[in-house]
Chains A and B, each alone.
Chain A
């Protein structure tokens, strides 16, 4: 059974998760988070952007 401090900790974790969820789904623009973290999150968007050259790279060797 969770005591009071466990309940408080679980609520805090849930709040951190909810905040991250909101930021991933709706962007980090309005949420108080450092520029460094915003840049790190944005950098991952590039993983799904591929150039034509990449898609047409022929593996020949």
Chain B
């Protein structure tokens, strides 16, 4: 038995992984009870997640200094009087996970580089990431960087970057995005979501990554209609979240993704559910994370029985970190019938501080109906892991309302302008296709997303379908730093592409180029 189990910690301990062991480690570090842990959604989420990742071993650092917790500690917890035995501590534990079986002796041999021991390369290949456990009684899940599910070509996690963890002289690497749960003091859900979002934008756009307490203090400089304390945090409004984004030097772009009420006639000024898919896809593909603000409704039978309708639970904010393009076919966009690749999205992955990192939101929840009230029905909702009054996972759903995009100031042309343009361009191509029905057997599918000059050129360089002279001419040309790409696909292969200058102004001449990939078909279309 490791010395730590007896309460006399050595700095490092090694354990075989099991969910029971993980909960025991949480309880010991946080000084909390198993019942508290069993009452958290995270416990069930980690159980499923580590089972999927096939975790075998946990290495525990018993005295770990986490910068962001230290800042929250110095800003708040250190001034709590506390009883002597329960004073808040400044040091955390850090748990590292591997899908490789080894014991304490095996780890020691690896650290010392003894013959036949595990190598740094073997440990890195088996590394699944880490969880920092904060010494707080209930809200103890600190900075967490876990590996994503292995790619099956439908799941996409573009909002990840390399995280390096130093452990006993090893440099362990994992592609992830940092997550932590709210502590209900320095942070509520919106602060935690912003903190995760800033981990990515800080790396992309080189800005300071503030701690949760800094985020809450900055955001609450904008007064909300309901006055209250800044800390402990009672949550942030959309306006306050936007203020926090401005404070790091980025421009917050706010998009309405509230679905049209079911009982409302077709009105042109209200966005359809496709907006959520299109915006998520367009910006996540550029590596830019997106905040989703939603209203949560409990649709469990006890809630419906009590209120005769789904019961409003609370507003909630999460960071969108990935998506699954699980649908075999695109869903035509309204009556125009334009096909966007984004409509293949059937799941979103989010950093949800109440559930865990890369948690699922499904796009298949049925509409919310409020019979006998003056509230409009809600056309679609997102399925979640939240538990309602019946205690069952999934009985609480998300009604999406707003997306907040943290943009570099040079990204000026918004997605809706490009999608309008593509709708009209598609109309022109569809007219040509119907005039020459033998050339294109099916309607074009439009893959529309933001990118950078560098990423565009990397992709172009790898695409041998263009003639060498045309490819070289594009590769040697100077482009703006940010570009919108609209790639027209026919039967899954590139037919042509239109490039837009994302740094221009809406009144400007922002169409940069059109590129023809399949010259024979395109010439045939306009013959």
Residues of A at the B interface (CB closer than 8 Å) are 5-6, 8-10, 12-17, 19-21, 23-25, 28, 33-34, 36-37, 39-50, 54-61
| A43 close to B425 (CB less than 8 A) | no
Collect the chain A residues with CB atoms within 8 Å of residue B333's CB.
40
| A28 partner residues in chain B, CB cutoff 8 A | 424
In the bound complex, CA of A28 to CA of B520 (Å) = 32
| Alpha-carbon distance between A22 and B318 when the two chains are bound, in angstroms | 38
Q: Let me know if A40 and B523 touch, CB within 8 A.
A: no
Contact B224 A61 (CB under 8 A): no
A12–B432 touching, CB < 8 Å = yes
**Residues B271 and A43 in contact, CB atoms below 8 Å apart:** yes
**Which residues of B281-337 are within 8 A (CB) of A?**
293, 295-296, 313-317, 333-337
Indicate if the CB atoms of A59 and B424 lie closer than 8 Å.
no
Do B258 and A58 touch (CB < 8 A)? no
Interface string of B395-425 (1 = CB under 8 A from A): 0000001100000000000111101111111
Partner of A48, one of B226, B255, B314, B421: B255
A47 in contact with B255 given A17-B498, A36-B336, A39-B336 (CB within 8 Å): yes
- Complex interface: chain A residues within 8 A of B523 (CB): 5-6, 8-9
The number of residues on chain B lying at the interface, defined by a beta carbon within 8 Å of a beta carbon of chain A, is 73
Closest to B402 in A: A54
A15, A21, A40, A43 pick with most chain B CB within 10 angstroms: A43
Check: B63 CB closer than 8 A to any chain A CB. Answer: no
Separation of A58 and B298 alpha carbons in the complex (Å): 18
Interface SS of B by simple majority: mixed
Q: Is the CB of A57 within 8 A of B401?
A: yes
Q: Is the CB of B424 within 8 A of A23?
A: yes
Q: Hey, which chain A residues are within 8 Å of B256, CB to CB?
A: 46-50, 54
Given A5-B523, A42-B269, the answer on whether A56 and B514 have CB atoms closer than 8 Å is: no
Pick the residue among B415, B427, B525 that contacts A34 (CB under 8 A): B427
Excluding A49-B256, A59-B236, 17 further A-B contacts by CB distance (< 8 Å) are: A13-B516, A15-B428, A24-B424, A34-B427, A36-B334, A37-B336, A37-B427, A39-B268, A39-B336, A40-B338, A44-B271, A44-B423, A48-B414, A48-B416, A58-B224, A60-B316, A61-B354
Q: Does B114 contact A (CB under 8 A)?
A: no
With A16-B429, A54-B402 given, is the CB distance from A33 to B519 under 8 Å?
no
Nearest CB in chain A to that of B236: its residue: A59
Q: Would you give the shortest CB distance from B133 to chain A, in whole angstroms? A: 22
Which residues in A have their C-beta under 8 angstroms from that of B224?
56, 58
